[in-house]
A and B are shown apart, each in its own frame.
Chain A
Amino acid sequence: MNDIWAGIAAAIRLILTADADLVEISLRSLQVTLSALAIACLIALPLGTFLAIQRFRFRRGVIAVLNALMGLPPVVVGLVVYILLSRAGPFGVLNLLFTPTAMVIAQVIIITPLIASITHQAMRDLWAEYHDLLISLNTGKLQRVATLIRDGRRSLMTAALAGFGRAIGEVGAIMIVGGNIEHHTRVLTTAIALETGRGDFALALGLGFVLIGLALGVNLLTHWLGRTEVEGRW
């Protein structure tokens, strides 16, 4: 219990003193996670929506695979990305290993199936509601996807936030491909792992509370910007 109080005290001290290291790794955490989230959303939102409206051979199989990929073990993803980006790997020439870009790549792979799958579920229900009308209006596929994404934006925001939550708390993959290098690839989660390993539980807990605060802050900000629960049912 003492460790928890010490952790809270450490978190407050770090925030109040605007600790330079804390600010740096917090900003890097946000930068990596938000970059990964933006890229994953660009892929996953249209993909999930497309899967909801388009019938094609093996569609169920594709959806089943997508759902299964939600459970991708981050450590394995990290390992595969590491091999691909290592000097001997096919993308070694790009020199991306142990850079924030490598961490973004790993996070994109981890959260894209999650966002796409939640998007698919939400868009499937909305498509059932809109189907007759949009067919009747002779909309094209792109118009249907655009309409569903626009009108289902609150559900998509939930999908994106789920992706954000998974990415900001991720440690296994980014530790492997980022290397937890100070002032370069260290982020909140890898710093927590490091301080725990060193036995400085108070600092690790302090960083953990900052991480939770950051995640909550982004969620609340998103809900506020999205005016959730303000404009009636939608």
Chain B
Amino acid sequence: MVSLFPLTLTEGLVRRRGQVIMGPVSLTVEGRGLTVLMGPNGAGKSTLLKALHGIERLSAGRLRHGCPSDQSHAAQAFVFQTPVVLRRSVAANLAYPLKLHGVGRAERARLIEDWSARIRLSDRLDQPAARLSGGERQKLATARALIRSPQLLFLDEPTANLDGRSTREIEDLLRAARDGGTRIVMATHDFAQARRLADDAWFMMNGRIVETGPSPQFFDTPARSETRAFLRGDILE
């Protein structure tokens, strides 16, 4: 399989109705690990994730992948803050991305069995996904994103508004995916979660990345005053 990496965003900028929402941002994503993206509300975290994923059109700048662009989407996945579940059964939700990419029936059945067990929904495969709780839906959405073993996974505050148990289960899925070689970039507001999961962190303010660093350093000795203030719990505007 061709490698998606390095994924490079050069002077990426997103403008809406004449107003700059994000950027300019330049960064490179490569290798393994889990990066958390932090910052106050409206900092541009979701826009940056979508721009890196290629579903937010850049007003300026350029996004490049290590592989041809027509193959880049197949190697990545996205989990949204509000889980989008198809109006189908749990099994059909898991099968959907596999069918899109032509995975055979037998392999599909094997993967669905495997992933439904991982998210503890094996006994509810035939139920409509709408009957699941919020936490179960997010687990399903995460499993659906991971079922094709993407090289790169983006998550936009996947555990916001979830209970502790669901959060722990999703974090376990993410750790397993990272250990399995999936590169993860995740926006989160949860400092404790960021500390638990992050290998490195990016801090955004006013549409720009103002600080990056490896995990312990970023959280313990941030270089910039804005990052320190944010991590202290101050309200930033």
Binding site for B on A (CB under 8 A): 126, 129-130, 132-133, 135-139, 143, 147, 151-152, 231-234
Contact = CB atoms under 8 A, between A and B. Distances in A.
Main secondary structure of the interface of A (DSSP, over half): helix
Contacts of B130: 232-234
A133 B87 CA distance: 13
Contacts, number: 43
A139 B128 contact: no
Given A232-B130, A233-B130, A133 B88 contact: no
A137 B99 CA distance: 11
A130 to B, nearest CB: 7
B97 interface: yes
Nearest to B73: A138
B77 interface: yes
B55 interface: yes
A143 B101 CA distance: 12
B55 A135 contact: yes
A132 B84 contact: yes
A132 B100 contact: no
Would you call the interface of chain B mostly helix, strand, loop, or mixed? mixed
Interface of B: 53, 55, 73-74, 77-78, 80, 84, 86-88, 96-97, 100, 127-128, 130-131
A85 B86 CA distance: 46
30 contacts: A126-B87, A130-B84, A130-B86, A132-B55, A132-B78, A132-B80, A133-B86, A136-B53, A136-B55, A136-B77, A137-B73, A137-B96, A137-B97, A137-B100, A138-B73, A138-B74, A139-B100, A143-B100, A147-B86, A147-B96, A151-B86, A151-B88, A232-B127, A232-B128, A232-B130, A232-B131, A233-B128, A233-B131, A234-B87, A234-B88
A231 B129 CA distance: 11
A61 B4 CA distance: 42
A156 B188 CA distance: 39
A63 B74 CA distance: 34
